[in-house]
Amino acid sequence: MKVEWPTLGLIVLCYGVWLAAGFWLWPVFPLGALAIMAVMTALHSSLVHECLHGHPTRLRWLNEALAAANLSLLFPYRRYRATHLAHHHDARLTDPLEDPESYYHMLWRYRAMPAWLRVLLRWNNALVGRLILGPWLSGVVFLLAEGRGVWRNDPGIRLAWALHLPAVAGVLLVVWQMGIPLWLYLVAVCWPGAALISLRTFAEHRWHETPEGRTIIVERSPFAWLFLFNNLHIVHHKNPSAPWYALPRLYAERREAWHALNEGYVFRNYRALFARWALTPKEPVAHPVLRREPPIGPTL
C-alpha cells in the first residue's frame, strides 16, 4: 500500500502537539497552550481537506479514520467530503445553488432577508468581518441546513453524524481531562482556529466569466504551511489529487501560465488582501450574475 509519509507524519505531529499543549503547557502557560491548540485546530482542518482528496493512503476508510478526531468539533468528515467534492465542479464555482462553498446569495432571497441579516452578511464580506463573524455565521448556517437534512433523512447524513458525534465526545472528554473549560475551548481554540482558515477561504473564489478566472493565487504567506499550500488555490483545483507538498513545485514550474489561466487573480501575500478589503466588502452579497430571479416552480 502506497503511503504519503509527509502527510502521515504531519497528522501525527498535529495531534501530538495539540495533546502536548493541552496536558503539559496549559498548567504553566495557559495563553500559549490555547494559541498552539488553535493553530493545530486550523492545521487539522487543512489535513481533513487533504484526507478527503485521497491522502495519505488510497484507502478511503483509513484516511477518514486518521482525520476522525475533529479538533474543531463542528463538521462531520463525510458531510465535508460530500460538499467539498461537489464544490470541485469548477464550471459551477460561486453558483449559490450548485456550489456548496459559495458565499454568494441569490438576489431574490437576499432581498427577502431581514435588514439585520443583510447587514451581517455585508460585514462578513469584509476580511475583518469574515475573521470575526465568519466562523459563527457559517456554523449556524451549516447546522440549520444539517438539521433539515437529518429531518428529511437525506442520503448518508444521519450516518455521517452518527460517526461524528462520538468522535466529538472523545475530543471533549480529552479537553475536560486537560482541565480546560469547554466554553473556553470553543471561544479560544475553535473560534481562532476557524478564523485562520477563514483567512484562506475569504478570497479563494470570485465570480468570473471563465471558470479558471474564479480561483485565486496568493503567492507567499507565512501561513502557507498551515494551509498546506492551498493559498496556491488554482493549482489545487486543477490538480486535486496532488499532495499538498507538490503544489509549490507545480506552481513554480508554470508560474506565468497559472497567472494567465486565472486571469490575473493573483496577490503577492495576505497583507495585500488586508490592505484592499480589511473593512471594505470584497463583493456584493448577492451574486452579480447568477440566480438573479426566482425560478418558476418549487425552490430548494
CA 204 – CA 118 distance, rounded (Å): 22
Which residue pairs, CB below 8 angstroms and at least 24 apart, start in 110-119?
110/285, 110/286, 111/286, 118/285
Instruction: Write down the pLDDT at residue 1.
Output: 74
Q: Which residues of the chain have pLDDT under 50?
A: 300
Contact in structure between 258 and 235 (CB atoms under 8 Å)? yes
Per-residue pLDDT, 291: 85
Q: How far is CA 21 from CA 25, 175, 274, in A?
A: 5, 11, 30
Residue 292 pLDDT: 78
The pTM score is 0.95
pLDDT of residue 297: 58
Residues 6+ apart with CB under 8 A from 223: 196, 199, 200, 231, 270
The domain spans of the chain are 5-277
The pLDDT value given to residue 84: 96
The whole-number pLDDT of residue 226 equals 97
Q: Note the pLDDT of residue 298.
A: 54
